[in-house]
């Protein structure tokens, strides 16, 4: 297994980074939050999980080892593949997922694109004893705010919107995000942002 890749960031895409390792460009699938910390031409170290399929080898990259471990644990639940596990980590931090599972928070899981009410109930049952307890208390202040802004902005760019449009959409939903109790949920905010962009067109 490839536990991590370390090298210079050669290229960035909406859902992946290319890291040059020993003259070889390694394509690594990453969440918007992980990608937001990377810069082309700068050194990077990503913890990785290699997913082997009959017709492909896909490397998934994470900012830290905790995120990688949660990614792999999520896939032990039936119906959860690497794409859905990555989507869950794009919307929630590892600790937010642990809290959601520990408290039976269906709403938090249904905020992830691709997870409905029944799917959330099933996941809560299956993951109950697998993810463990939350490691730390929720972060407060700017880092949380910046986190959802970066994730939402990257998601909109990934959907093909221009940087200016993404900036305006993030600003439009900021009051909604800041009024919500706890950590802003990217899933509902993305829906609201897309509605504002559709109205503007």
| All structural domains of the chain | 4-62 (2.40.50.140), 65-127 (1.10.150.20), 142-200 (1.10.8)
Percent of the chain residues past pLDDT 90, beyond the cut: 45
Residue 88 clears pLDDT 70, i.e. is over it = yes
Tokens found for residue 37: 């910390």
Q: Global pTM?
A: 0.65
Let me know how long the chain is: 201
pLDDT band at 141 (very low <50, low <70, confident <90, very high): very low
Task: Give the per-residue pLDDT at 138.
Answer: 45
Return the bridge partners of 18, or none: 11, 27
Return the bridge partners of 17, or none: 12, 28
Tell me which of 102-106, 116-120, 154-158, 185-189 is least confident. 154-158
What confidence tens digit (pLDDT) does each residue in 142-163 have? 334 447 788 888 777 767 778 8
Tokens found for residue 62: 């994470």
């Amino acid at each position: 297994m490839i536990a991590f890749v370390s090298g210079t960031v050669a290229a960035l895409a909406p859902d992946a980074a290319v890291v040059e390792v020993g003259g070889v460009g390694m394509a690594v699938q990453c969440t918007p939050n992980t990608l937001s910390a990377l810069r082309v031409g700068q050194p990077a170290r990503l913890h990785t999980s290699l997913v082997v399929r009959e017709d492909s080898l896909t490397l998934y990259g994470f900012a830290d080892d905790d995120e990688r471990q949660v990614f792999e644990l999520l896939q032990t639940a039936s119906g959860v593949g690497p794409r859905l596990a990555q989507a869950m980590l794009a919307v929630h931090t590892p600790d937010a997922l642990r809290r959601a599972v520990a408290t039976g928070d269906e709403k938090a899981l249904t905020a992830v694109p691709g997870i409905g009410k029944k799917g959330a109930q099933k996941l809560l049952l299956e993951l109950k004893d697998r993810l463990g307890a939350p490691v730390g208390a929720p972060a407060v202040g700017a880092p949380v705010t910046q986190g959802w802004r970066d994730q939402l902005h990257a998601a909109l760019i990934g959907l093909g919107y221009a940087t200016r449009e993404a900036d305006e959409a993030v600003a439009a939903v900021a009051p909604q995000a800041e009024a919500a109790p706890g950590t802003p949920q990217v899933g509902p905010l993305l829906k609201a942002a897309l509605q504002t962009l559709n109205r503007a067109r």
